[in-house]
Amino acid sequence: MIIRLFLVFAALCVAVFALYFYALQSTPGTTRYAVFKPDMTAAQSAQVQQMIDEQLIRKAGGRQVSPIQVVYDDGAIVVTFPIPGENHRSDGICDYGYFCVWENPGFTGRKLSLLSKPSSRPVNLTDYNLGKQVSSWQHNNKNHSVKVFGVDGPGAIGNMMMSNIKEVGLGRGCCPYSIPEKASASDAWTEVYSQDRLAAFDDRIVSVAFSPMFILFAQ
């Protein structure tokens, strides 16, 4: 009985510590997305507007906030379209507080910015015409605060294709698969903040999910 009470007490202590750690890492910051109004010709503007109109039909509830951007859920999701005829040039920077994916390597092409919060619901990339098309990504948030997973099925159900954490300590060298193994025991896991080119099997991402980083320490 005493041992059982001790184990319960220890578990409660671990839970309190985890919540405290998460609270420290998730203090509010500036998470407002940047609004872009690039110079475009009339023909370019017309092409982008057609893509925006198609996106608003594809998924209802969006709002156009600039000549190249649509937002959902008060800015929790931002779709940024590339400028036609300029090698798919687009905004290559991920705003603070967001996880961003691009359809092309080198952070180019259509961009999807997702507010990076552990409480965020899984996001289906097919709603934004990016299912199985992600070729590069960035994560810009507090270190060790949010784990991000790219999954090959809708609703974050399926096989993990990428993550911002490489959990070498688990033995199979989980994601991101293209990041080299760490030889030192002190480097049991590594947080990765971007990949400018995904491996061929990584770009099968269909949905993105988030969870608190402290779960890592309980695995």
Enter the tokens of residue 10. 């220890």
How many distinct structural domains can be found in the chain? Answer: 1
Average pLDDT over residues 54-64: 98
Tokens (6 digits) for 182: 């760490």
Give residue 103's domain range. Answer: 2-218
HEC letters along 101-135: EEEECCCEEEEEEEECCCCCCCEEHHHHCCCCCCC
Single out the residue of 58, 170, 196, 42 nearest to residue 125, CA to CA.
Answer: 58
CB atoms within 10 A of CB 200: 7
Determine the pLDDT at residue 11: 46
pLDDT score, position 179: 65
CA distance 142 to 153: 27
Q: How far apart are the first and last CA of the chain?
A: 27
Distance in angstroms (rounded) separating the CA atoms of residues 129 and 199: 20
Q: What's 173's domain CATH number?
A: 2.60.20.10
- Which tokens in the block code for residue 90? 């687009």
Return d(Cα 196, Cα 104) in angstroms, integer: 9
The predicted pLDDT at position 30 comes to 45
The pLDDT assigned to 22 comes to: 39
Question: Is residue 151 predicted with pLDDT exceeding 60?
Answer: yes
Average pLDDT of 68-92?
88
Q: How far is CA 1 from the centre of its chain?
A: 45
Residue 210 pLDDT > 60: yes
- Looking at per-residue confidence, does 102 or 21 come out higher? 102
Q: Residues 164-207: pLDDT tens digits?
A: 887 655 444 567 766 666 555 555 567 889 999 988 777 899 99
Measured CA to CA, the distance from residue 194 to residue 40 in angstroms comes to 29
Which has more pLDDT, 192 or 219? 192
Mean pLDDT of 40-56: 96
Helix (H, G, I), strand (E, B) or coil at 194: strand
Q: Tokens representing 23? A: 């609270």
pTM of this structure? 0.80
**CB within 8 Å of 177: residues ≥ 6 apart:** 162, 199, 201, 202
Task: Render pLDDT for 96-146 as a digit per residue (tens, 0 to 9).
Answer: 999 999 999 999 999 999 999 998 899 999 999 999 999 999 999 999 899
